[in-house]
Amino acid sequence: MNKKNNKPELKSLASDTKSLPRRQLILGASAVASASIVASQPAIAQKTVNLVRNRKVLRMVTSWPADLPGLGTAAQRFADRVTRLSDKKLVIKVFPAGELVSASQNFDSVAKGEAHLYHSFDSYWQHYSQALNFFASIPFGMSPGEFNAWITYGGGQGLWDELGEGLGIKPLLAGNTGYQMAGWFRKPADNYKDLKGLKMRVQGIGGEVFQRLGVRTESLNATDTVSALENNKLDAAEWFGPWLDEHFGLHKGAKYYYGPAFHEPGIAIVVGFNRKVWDELENDHKELLQVVAEAENHRVLAEFNAKNNQALARLVNDHGVELRKFDDDTLNWLGTESGKIVAKIGNSSSQAKKIYKSYKNFRSKALARGVHGENAFLKSRLLPFKFAP
């Protein structure tokens, strides 16, 4: 997998909605409406980027609509900053989901050189390597801060680069959605026994975990999810967190909002470059891209944290949402089943085993420190003393 001469053959993803990774279904009709555009776009030469008046022009495909808060807007901001800070010597043109290729083909198109880079979650592409999940989000895994530390100082970036090289990709960490929520429920479901038999819109590893507790899972886009909740065709639904959940109107179909998001303590955003295109870039352009990605990684997480705080207050105060929490028995069940699934992913290949071992070791040390560090502080902050009376 990690040898340059042994790149796996990348097969195109199916285009039907059932095959789309979780949350790419938010695109809905936009990908269909852009089909004629996709068909008319010429392929890009893999060995070099386009040159226009001595400017290097890169095409970036994304997994989001252009105006999707926090994600589509972050992709455009990344491109704009690179273009501006390079004095337009390195220009990134953004093609939101469906405009150049369908959302499900982003990774495939970049790996083959039909586009130059993508802005997405790497868990979307786990059918190429299940190990990619470790560079997106893992149930009961690391917090965004811990994940950043692992990537930057714990060997994570090197392992990610090694994995990406075998797939024809150079990955850069460029954001994180922060702590999410476990989902919306039409009726209270505090205990795992209340989950059995429910019909829930949830996908990915989280969906597998819920299935093991007797939940029937569905894959729907945002609009259909809200409608299904309102019409009693769904009992529950998981999406992102307060900011985007409010944006899509999940609160219109259910009023019980559960946490914590055991399955996604924060999804990492990746900017993935075609490896050959990356290698051909000048060193100063590589450094610029890395610096902008690091800045975006901080900014995106800060934006999600700020906007989630604001949205949660509106959901409770203006929309009558009731916040609830799974009990400890349920979290133990969810944790046990999550561990089994993550172990299976971590042993899916020799390369996955290396990544899994590194991830587990770093997480273990973070947990040990957290007992007397962050976790202890957060618990102490909940005590009923008056702050700045």
pLDDT reported for residue 50: 61
Whether 202 is covered by a domain: the verdict is no
Report pLDDT for 388.
77
Q: Compute the mean pLDDT over every residue in the chain, rounded to the nearest whole number.
A: 88
* Alpha-carbon span 334 to 41, nearest angstrom: 45
In a domain? residue 82: yes
Assess if residue 281 is contained within a domain.
Answer: yes
Task: Tell me what the mean pLDDT of segment 162-170 comes to.
Answer: 97
In a domain, residue 193? The reply is: no
Residue 385, in any domain of the structure: no
More confident residue, 19 or 182: 182
Arithmetic mean of pLDDT, 368-385: 93
pTM over cut 0.75:
yes
- Structural domain of residue 157, as residue ranges? 23-176+265-307
Q: What is the pLDDT of residues 29-38, one digit of tens each?
A: 333 333 333 3
Say how far apart CA 50 and CA 166 lie, in whole Å: 24
Give tens-digit pLDDT for 196-234: 999 999 999 999 999 999 999 999 888 899 999 999 999
Residue 292 maps to a domain: yes
pLDDT surpassing 90 at residue 326: yes
What are the Cα distances from residue 324, in Å, to 184, 188, 261, 289, 313?
A: 10, 8, 12, 41, 14
- Per-residue pLDDT band for 168 (boundaries 50, 70, 90) equals very high
Cβ atoms of residues 269 and 62 within 8 Å: no
Domain count across the chain: 1
Q: How many CB atoms lie within 10 A of CB 321?
A: 21
HSE toward the beta carbon, residue 312, CA cutoff 13 A: 17
CATH number of the domain within which 62 lies:
3.40.190.170
Domain for residue 128, yes or no?
A: yes
**Res 10 pLDDT > 70:** no
**Is residue 340, in this structure, part of any structural domain at all?**
no
Structure tokens that stand for 41 in this block:
């776009």
pLDDT (tens digit per residue) in 184-196: 999 999 999 999 9
